[in-house]
A and B are shown apart, each in its own frame.
Chain A
């Protein structure tokens, strides 16, 4: 490992034996390990040693790993925090990614996975350092320029530099003390519009007032560079994760900061890639385990069928058949989901009349809904124009929504409640809305917020956590939108909007 990267690791786990084993293994790999028994102790030790890498168990009594992650990220956002999770902690794992955890590994800990995660953390630290070195060079160029009297040769330096700044794939902008934008490079203007004279918080963040940890302000007051990770919102509403580096531009006497230059690097592509990699890793872990479970389920069914037949035990044979049937269904779904997620897809879009598509969809789902004793009602008429869609994918996307509606009704155990699922289709402002309404158990806000996240599932071993994630992806890839309204105890309406093509 490179010498420049401090090789201290802070390890937080409430279980003494796990801590011991991990410490020994990490020391074998050449790390210096500091151990904490709980979250609070970890915070104290972090303050004392400021290690570049932290490894923490998610489930700990008192302050749990997520809270610890948040605290550490607030103290030093550049710390690489690796989460350790037991099986069934997937929601926590996803939450920790949202708080910007570097990675996570599952218990029982496989050393290979741990080494991979550590390597990734170290790589991130190295890349960030390179980036800082590079911006520092920029800074040097800048002070060179502002420090010297303008001469002939400087004109050329200045214009070369301007060209460089203009075309760097970074959002570069110059601010006065009032946080108004004086100048910006073309990449900035492309993404945030011509913003000269406006406030940065308005342009980049759509806020009415300056942000709390404004690095530009800090640079004005301290006369030093600052760095800051944050999110910008572009002119067309996309969120971009950025790393901001601010540089002071001094006046001719080098006494006070006249302007501040901000260089913001878009981390979104990096983090998209990282998300994909992380979720693939996550997926292989959780799915290979899931598939092995399902295969064993198949064995179970076959064993019961065979031994049932040998013993002429009809009941046992029947049970076996039922298990085989269920497991095959689940296995099929998992495999299809994986194939879908693992492959770049190309849609074969065709024009279909909305009515015909709605009829086809109804046919597919009707039997499934009714087999659970749930009523199905259609609410749409002829002549709703056409759609340009990949029919197979779109049907799959909508089936996933129906699957959830069916589960919501099955899970509703209240007596004397007649369950119904309604498919209503109608044109709305040039789009076609497919509204799927059920009167099942409904969802709380937490579930509704998470329902489209990868690997979020409320259905335990029955759900893969892929279905609705895929649904949303298909719909968005068609230029559409999916909205959910739900009230616990009353039911859920999922509205899918797809752009129409004429009447």
Chain B
């Protein structure tokens, strides 16, 4: 079965971009545009990996801290995709930090290395 990735970003163009890249590579996707919505989608879809923008109406790290407390979600790997510099340590357990703008292959490689 195809692995599922949840894309969290408040810019619809970027959601479209990342989901298109991932779908073209054979992944399933779901998406959310802020931290609160992300939590709802997470419960419903239980994705295998999350890409997370940090600066959103309901701040990214806050969403992360919220779900990372739940034992059933805490092991879902997260990739930070952000336009902020100096964010390397915002989410310590992130498998990678991708800076906007990024190369599609760069992101795909990280996803592939993480969930296959």
Partner-B contacts on A (CB < 8 A): 17, 86-88, 106-108, 110, 112-113, 288-293, 295-301, 303-304, 307, 316, 319, 323, 326-327, 461
Contacts and interface: CB of A to CB of B under 8 A. Distances in A.
A32 to B, nearest CB: 24
A316 B90 CA distance: 35
B20 A303 contact: yes
B71 interface: no
A292 B11 contact: no
B3 interface: no
Interface of B: 10-11, 13-14, 16-17, 20-21, 24, 54-57, 59, 61, 65, 83-87, 89-90, 99-102, 104
A140 B101 CA distance: 62
Which applies to chain B's interface (DSSP): helix, strand, loop or mixed?
Answer: loop
B67 to A, nearest CB: 15
A297 B10 contact: no
A86 B17 contact: no
Contacts of A290: 83
Nearest to A300: B17
Which applies to chain A's interface (DSSP): helix, strand, loop or mixed?
Answer: helix
Contact of A307 (B20, B57, B86): B20
A259 B83 CA distance: 60
Contacts of A307: 20, 24
B84 A108 contact: yes
A108 to B, nearest CB: 4
A42 B89 CA distance: 27
11 contacts: A87-B84, A88-B55, A108-B86, A110-B86, A289-B84, A291-B83, A292-B83, A292-B99, A295-B100, A304-B16, A304-B20
Contacts of B24: 307
Contacts of A291: 83
B59 A292 contact: no
A232 B100 CA distance: 47
Given A295-B101, A299-B101, A303-B20, A323 B13 contact: yes
B11 A297 contact: yes
Contact of A296 (B17, B20, B56, B86): B17
A289 B55 CA distance: 9
Given A289-B55, A296-B14, A108 B87 contact: yes
B100 A87 contact: no
Nearest to A299: B101
B57 A108 contact: no
Contacts of A113: 86
Given A292-B100, A296-B102, A299-B101, A87 B59 contact: yes
